[in-house]
Structure 1
């Protein structure tokens, strides 16, 4: 059962990067995540998904300016000191990064990397931490965990390495787990196994999961709610059932239409695609950033910015599809 009170609440999050030209990477993102819930954040590459997650964790470089509110339980993380963030990261708020081979230290055993988290945050002794590491490897579905705990990352398959990264992230039973493209570069069988692990964790531990992905098939299989981002902005937010049954924003409809299906494209034809290019983020646009690629755009779209509106199904568009339109 999903609690009504959010574990993680993000409001009006914005991230800019200073340089020769300021980059507005994230602009006005808001969402809630509740215990035992999976929120999928989707969109094309470069739309701000990963930057949003790093901003929540306080892992962006000094050149980044972050504004808005990030509340974990009753604690405000935006503007917190590095010491406060280190106490939270890995214990109450964890992240599964995109590439397991770059996330894991190649010269340390996987057991050492799991026990490091346990000894730091839970103050476990060496032997107790090792036993807990074996339990975690078993929890994420790694066979022969007592043997694997002493192996190095290069001795494991890609799917096993990803499971180890998940084991490190959930070692302290965090309230919120952010998974950034956890199935990238894995074959479909291994993908299914990783997704089953995440589903088991949220069911058994009540972990709230923020799943960052561009794979709408993964979203359909896993998510309770979906936040669609475009050019750093939220454009649609709804339950997964509502979004797939009745997408209202033209961008969301374009993403769904571009998903390959059996029998498509016709012989000699092309897959459906969204025309045009994602805009540069060096200027903060005061209009709909999707307008240049949208066949519904009119003068209002190019002169005024829409904001997410609605009760359960939020959409930021001047000309959305009516509710219930398949």
Structure 2
């Protein structure tokens, strides 16, 4: 088995504001290998995007980051802004969640792609412009030579997302973090974006960390999956095994709430009762216990360790 290209160990992130401390990410560990797609899933506010921003070194000064993020042999936690600037966009790239706010509205898409190439690869303006055309063609944008001269508002949502992918892969990064790359896109456009990501993995051997709340997308493209709840990893494993036999009650609840084809209107979707806990204090116990139908006194008094699932009373794996 190949060595991991990205290894995150014991990563924790907290924010201090107004005399309060919010523990957004608590002791996250994962690794991803070349050509692998790791999906990070969970409901809004569970820490998925904060984890990715911490990995990229893009959090504000109010954030405190501990743990380790190793890209190849380089440690990124604690690295200087100059060191991170050399890595970001070159070896480690990110597709941000909303392309309309991530792209500069007053610059053409060709110039925005070319800026990455000129900064990291030292290309001339003319060389960068030609390479921008090639990249737009790579991500499936029709008439790329015309599109490089257009502005973001002239493109559809799907095309803007493809431009973001073109910028992210311009320097052939070894790791690509995709933060909700298919959100608010219709099913046809979503399928096209996923095809682009598959093509990049196959052609360039890019490792992809896919952040999403869409379990259908995970089943379609991911190799492994990491399930987060209240800033912690509650389960991880191979995607087909986790979907077939989820062990953590939270994972079981997420999968149970997925609509099945032809089942619309025939049954009420199951819901997880209760509220997500406050992140001001991470208890030395199971954070899901107040909402869990399987919880016992041990769950509220002792924190479970992560094996396949961080749970004292996981669902049993059925014999095959």
TM over 0.5, shorter chain: yes
How far apart are the structure 1 equivalents of 2:265 and 2:27? 40
The answer to whether residue 310 in structure 2 is matched with residue 316 in structure 1 is yes
> Does 1:24 find its partner at 2:23?
yes
Match of 1:302 in 2: 300
Task: Please give the secondary structure, in 2, of the residue aligned with 1:78.
Answer: coil
Contact 1:247 1:325 in 2 (8 A): no
Q: Secondary structure at the match of 1:277?
A: coil
Contact kept, 8 Å, 1:37 with 1:224, in 2: the verdict is yes
- Preserved contact between residue 109 and residue 150 of structure 2 (Cα < 8 Å): yes
1:225-304 maps to which residues of 2 (within 5 A)?
Answer: 225-267=224-266, 270-304=268-302
SS in 2 for 1:166: helix
**In the aligned structure 2, how far is the partner of 1:61 from the partner of 1:126?**
32
**Cα distance in structure 1, aligned partners of 2:318 and 2:198:** 29
**Equivalent residue of 1:46, what SS?**
coil
Structure 1: any 5+ residue segments left out of the alignment? none
Residue 190 (structure 1) aligns with:
189
- Cα distance per residue 1:257-313 (max 9 Å; x no partner): 00111243545x53221111111101121110000110000000001111201xxxx
Q: How does 1:14-163 map to 2 (within 5 A)?
A: 14-19=12-17, 20-163=19-162
Deviation at 1:325, TM superposition (A): 6.9
Residue 6, structure 1, aligned to residue 4, structure 2: yes
TM score, norm. by length of structure 1: 0.96
Equivalenced residues, count: 319
What does the per-residue CA deviation read over 1:203-237, in whole Å, with 9 as the maximum and x for residues that have no partner? 10000000000000000001000000000000001
The residue correspondences of 1:183-222 to structure 2 (distance < 5 A) are: 183-222=182-221
Equivalents in 1 of 2:319, 2:59: separation in Å? 40
* Partner Cα separation in structure 1 for residue 34 and residue 55 of structure 2: 17
For 1:284 and 1:236, the matched residues in 2 are separated by 18
Per mean C-alpha deviation after superposition, the further-off stretch among 316-325 and 213-222 is 316-325
Q: CA deviation at 1:84?
A: 0.3
CA RMSD of aligned residues (A): 1.1
Shift of 1:324: 3.4
Distance in 1, matches of 2:283 and 2:249, equals: 18
Instruction: Decide whether the 8 Å contact of 1:13 with 1:66 is kept in 2.
Output: yes
Secondary structure in 1 aligned to 2:5? strand
Check 1:127–1:251 CA distance in 2 against 1; reply closer, same or farther (3 A cut): same
Q: Residues 298, 150 of structure 1: CA spacing in aligned structure 2 closer, same or farther, 3 A cutoff?
A: same
CA contact (8 A) 1:111 1:149 kept: yes
Secondary structure in 2 matching 1:6: coil
Verify the 8 A CA contact 2:256 2:269 in the aligned structure 1. Answer: no
Distance in 1, Cα, partners of 2:135 & 2:124: 16
TM-score when scaled to structure 2? 0.98
List per-residue Cα deviations over 1:138-194 (Å, max 9, x = no partner): 000000000001000011000000000000000000000000000000000000000
